[in-house]
Structure 1
Amino acid sequence: EAWEKVNLLINDNNTITFNQRKTFKFSPELSVGDVEDMVVVPNIPMLSATSQSKHAARFLRLAMASIMDILKIKPFVEVTVGQLLWGYEDPLLKLAKDVVPKEQKLPYEEFGLMYGKNGTSPDNVTVFTGGHDIRQFGLIDRFNGQTHLLHWKTEKCNRLNGSDGSIFPPHITPNTTLYVYDKDLCRLLPLRFLYEVETAGGVKGYRFTPPTDVFADVAKNPENDCFCPAGPPCAPNGLFNISLCQFDSPILLSFPHFYLADPKFREAVEGISPPDPEKHRLYIDVQPQMGVALGARARIQLNLAVSQVVDIKQVATFPDIVFPILWFEDGIDHLPEEVTDLLSLATNAPPIARAVISYGLFALGAILLVIAVTCLIRSSGRQETLNLEGTSHYVKPEKKPTAASEHSDVTNSHTNGKGKTLETLNPAFVGGPENGITNQ
């Protein structure tokens, strides 16, 4: 995965506008299979449609069942890994394209979990440069022209003023709460200090991770009430409902292997091992003085809320279940060596420079003191000669060649520091992120 900022525009109000282009390329050496491998997965378009019809009129559900019979649509489909990611033709979407009014049509013609995201840059982002207020450095001002989200019930939950995960305002402390915005999360994600880290290049940083109650239900975290789309019942503990920004599809996010979620969701599905925080926790490592991301792992699991609908025979025997589709891991373990060297110089050089300057000034002061004392002694000698001249005891000295004058050259040296803009991955990041996808 490669990230590139394109269409850069420097604005007059201390902001920069750009589009983020992401390009994905298959890496066989990092994969356990091939993009042409066949997999059997839930038919997400079909199961989304049936779940949405659960509370519709009965005749509509019966009509949907008849259409699925005619089109031979089944709850599970067999596709290649490449098709699952980048898109395949789905008969239900094709039908919707033909019958749904133009103004209500879906923005895609095929279904894929990452359809339309390879080599494209559809989102326009404006971030603060920090020129007016360094505390806003790297924070989002506008996303696709909007200063806030439109999905949720309150202004607080619709806030956009977070980072894209690549860089944060400087002067971070363990008490700082960082915020990251990603379009696919549909919200700001808070991050809190976990512990100190150090890169292979010796750059020290802080590890930040979401609080354990970030996806908690309202009973455990009342602040999540505004993320409840239509009032109770809200998303279960450990899950986050993003249906409002996914065309009302019953999509629930969680951490991989239902980490921090109610164990009943993992126990309802065979083959999922218990969660391991070291493998399934989302985190970002940040250099506190500069706010630069040193490394990150964005780990999110995609789940489908499947509902039993007795009038649609294809799902009449299905239980109500949260079905895990797959989980994504996107990030970078360490920075390139040249970037680490640059950060090490930027963070470690100032104290060294101060020490060198202090010792240099001390030495220079000592030299100047010696010169001053020498001049004072010579001046005193000349003054004594003047006072004695003209007395009976004064004997005029014979003229002798004066000693060659001495001079001292002082050479001042300095080191020029060069700044480098670190460009990332979303979620975020510096350098060329490496993207892996784990199938449940």
Structure 2
Amino acid sequence: MCCDCCGVTQQKVWVFGIGAIFAISGLLFVIWWPGFIDNMIMESLPLTPTSKTYDKWIEIPIPMYMRMYLWNWTNAEDVKLNGAKPNFKQCGPYVYREERTKMDLEFNENKTVTFKQRRTWYWEEELSGGKQDDMLTLPHLPSIAASISMRNSPKLIKMFFNAALNENGGALYVTHTANEWLFEGFYDEFLHYAMSLNNPLAPPIETDHFAWFLNRNESKEFEGVFTIHSGVGDLKEMGEIKFWNGKNHTGFYDGECGRLNGSTSDLFVPNEPKEKPLTLYITDTCRIINLEFSGQSYEIEGIQGWKYEITPHTFDNGQRNGNMKCYCSAEKQAANNCPASGATDLGPCADDVPMYLSADHFMYADESYANTITGTEPNYERDNFFIIMERKLGVPLQVNAAVMISLFIEEDTDIDILKGLPSFYAPLFSSTSQAVINKELASELKLALNLPAIGRWTGVGFLCVGCILIIVGIVLTIKRKWRGQAAADRAALINKDLGSTSNTPD
């Protein structure tokens, strides 16, 4: 603005005009911008082939790690020969970097998306607390599972089974390397024998090799087919699982305990109340897991998140919460033989093998589990299953998904490998999936979270500038300090005097 070439009136138009523009713009930013930008961000969240959410969902952009622990049975021979109390030592962690990729995507007309998930694991020796060639002794699950399936058979049949078990590699425990137990697998003589029988009454046996994650690395088929809501048209449904393998019920547990709901852990409903629990469905656990609001907040990479974690109720079987009784089968309920609180019976999804899901080291579990063995030492900070969640956009900032799988072993006097044993819960392996948001994704998230405030404070700045300009204009007007105002006043005074003189009579 060139004040030297502007008259007083022009100066006033410029100052008051610009001041009004700044003030009105600032007022609009303060009132309208936060809601507008929030709506724009929320509208960009639903899962579509062109949304920003899509790329981050199709392949998780932050580093994830699976920390595996194997429980070495240190006194297996003493237990077998003398009935000693079993002792287990947790070995590891054996750490693998994990990549998740969604495969075979299909966007459906009902605003859902169907996909398969492929997980790929890469060995991370520098992060591990053990070597892949560590020799570890664990219960021989194939032999024990087969023996358990024969427990209620007639004695004559059990006698023939026992002879076959002894002659074909049956064992209470075996020793192999950590890598063989986890991914590589080992040839198992008893499995080979069981395959050759082709027994139509027994679960199908597809291989004579055994490992906890055999043939799972890079497989897109293992976890099944998921169908989730895309969030299009209803953000409150975003990421909610609708079907798994074409069904909305797992079939493993009765009623609500088998109903599918919650997230597959990759996509969460945004803008939920912070007190609302997080619900996850993880295929390996055969059930949903509710993480309760802890009331604790944490700042990660400059972003505030709230902690959601398991509680003593998470793996209850009806003793603490009557609604959880459906995790105990109707038959066991009728016989008053439900598992004690703290561990979920995985038998319904493990061909009736008495395997149990719990927090690591039997944390929160009834003492009857850990008391059958020695070697477990629960530690809340280490063994807790939790997610720290930014709730507005539904983004996990940190994940520590820790669980343990154990096997219930008890005596059977008709089967040699189980004869003379105490009853005990043998921990097999513990798994912890860990992830923390990286700086790049955190920067994007912070920008999205701060845009409403940035607009609001920009509006406040504009409003202040506008008000200052208007006030300055008012002061200059009152004090008559505009550039050229004095000359204009003198000219006006001279004109007034001349006018008065010319009107004086001769």
Q: TM-score range by the shorter chain?
A: 0.7 to 0.9
Which of 345, 358, 364 lines up with 2:447 in the alignment?
A: 345
Residue of 223, 230, 242 corresponding to 1:129: 230
What is the percent sequence identity of the aligned residues?
24
Contact 2:396–2:437 (Cα < 8 Å) also in 1: no
Equivalent of 2:417, from 311, 314, 317? Answer: 314
Give how far 1:252 is off.
Answer: 0.8
CA deviations over 1:137-178 (Å, ceiling 9, x no partner): 111122222222111221x11221211223321123342021
Q: Out of 363, 369, 373, which is 1:265 matched to? A: 369
Asked whether 1:71 is paired with 2:175, we answer no
- Aligned counterpart, 2:399: 296
Q: What is the letter of the counterpart of residue 306 of structure 1?
A: I
1:35-65 per-position Cα deviation (integer Å, ceiling 9, x unaligned): 1222111101111111222122222221111
Residues 1:284 and 2:382 are matched in the alignment: no
Partner Cα separation in structure 1 for residue 299 and residue 206 of structure 2: 43
Matched letter for residue 266 of structure 1: A
Q: Is the 8 A contact 2:319 2:340 kept in 1?
A: no
- Please report how far the alpha carbon of residue 250 of structure 1 lies from its aligned counterpart in structure 2 after TM superposition: 1.4
String of CA shifts for 1:360-409, please: whole Å, max 9, x gaps.
Answer: 1453466578889999x99xx9xxx9xx99xx8697xxxxxxxxxxxxxx
User: Aligned letter for 1:350?
Assistant: P
CA 1:394–1:235 in structure 2 vs 1: closer, same or farther (change >3 Å)?
A: farther
Pair 1:116–1:102, CA change in 2 (3 A): farther
| Match among 178, 182, 185 for residue 282 of structure 2 | 182
Alignment equivalent of 1:62, drawn from 148, 159, 166: 159
Q: 2:251 is matched with which residue?
A: 150
- Kindly indicate whether residue 196 of structure 2 is the aligned counterpart of residue 95 of structure 1: no
What does 1:8-87 correspond to in 2, within 5 Å? 8-86=105-183, 87=185
Report the Cα offset of residue 356 of structure 1.
Answer: 1.1
Task: Give how far 1:8 is off.
Answer: 2.6
1:114 aligns with 2:114: no
Deviation per CA, 1:240-289: give whole Å up to 9, x if none: 101111122211111111101122322322222x3111111100110011
Q: CA deviation at 1:10?
A: 2.5
Aligned residue number for residue 417 of structure 1: none
Taking the aligned partners of 2:445 and 2:309, their CA distance within structure 1 comes to 22
Q: Which has the larger radius of gyration?
A: 2
| Aligned-pair Cα RMSD in Å | 2.8
Contact 1:88 1:110 in 2 (8 A): yes
Name the CA distance, whole Å, in 2 between partners of 1:183 and 1:287.
Answer: 24
C-alpha distance in 1, partners of 2:197/2:474? 97
Structure 1 counterpart of 2:254, which letter? K
Deviation of 1:343 (Å)? 1.4
Q: TM-score, normalised by structure 1?
A: 0.80
Shift of the alpha carbon at 1:119? 0.7
Count of residue correspondences: 386
Residue 430 of structure 2 aligns to a residue whose secondary structure is: strand
- Whether contact under 8 Å (2:228, 2:239) holds in the other structure is yes
Aligned partners of 2:390, 2:290: CA distance in 1, in Å?
17
Partner of residue 408, structure 1: none
Q: How does 1:128-277 map to 2 (within 5 A)?
A: 128-154=229-255, 156-229=256-329, 230-232=331-333, 233-272=337-376, 274-277=377-380
With normalisation by structure 2, the TM-score equals 0.70
Q: Is the 8 A contact 2:263 2:279 kept in 1?
A: yes
| Equivalent AA in structure 2 for residue 258 of structure 1 | F
Shift of 1:210: 1.9
Shift of 1:14: 1.9
Q: Structure 1: give runs of 5+ residues left out of the alignment.
A: 396-440
User: Could you say what secondary structure the match of 1:25 adopts?
Assistant: strand
1:101 Cα deviation after fit: 4.8
Do 2:169 and 2:188's aligned partners in 1 also have CA atoms closer than 8 Å?
no
Amino acid at match of 2:280: V
In 2, Cα distance between equivalents of 1:36 and 1:53: 34
* Cα distance in 2 for residues equivalent to 1:114 and 1:183: 13
> Contact between 2:138 and 2:173, CA under 8 Å: does it hold in 1?
yes
Other structure's SS at 2:291 match? strand
How far apart, in 1, do the equivalents of 2:219 and 2:449 lie? 36
Task: Report SS of the residue matched to 1:204.
Answer: strand
Contact 2:347–2:355 (Cα < 8 Å) also in 1: yes
Alignment of 1:404-419 (within 5 A): none
How far apart in 1 are the matches of 2:120 and 2:418?
A: 37
Once the 2 structures are TM-superposed, how far is the Cα of residue 109 of structure 1 from its aligned partner? 4.3
8 A Cα contact 2:144 2:172, kept in partner? yes
More divergent stretch after superposition (258-267 vs 175-184): 258-267
How far apart, in 2, do the equivalents of 1:197 and 1:115 lie? 39
